[in-house]
Amino acid sequence: MQDLKVIYEDNHIIVVEKRPNIPSQSDKTEDKDMLSIIKEYLKEKYNKPGNVYLGLVHRLDRPVGGVMVFAKTSKAASRLSQQVRNKEFKKQYLAVVDGKIENKKRNFRRLFI
Q: Which residues are catalytic?
A: 61
* Per-residue burial over 12-32, b = 16 or more CB atoms within 10 Å of its CB, e = otherwise: ebbebebeeebbbeeeeeeee
Spatial separation of the C-alpha atoms in residues 72 and 77, rounded to whole Å: 7
Spatial separation of the C-alpha atoms in residues 26 and 24, rounded to whole Å: 7
Spatial separation of the C-alpha atoms in residues 50 and 61, rounded to whole Å: 29
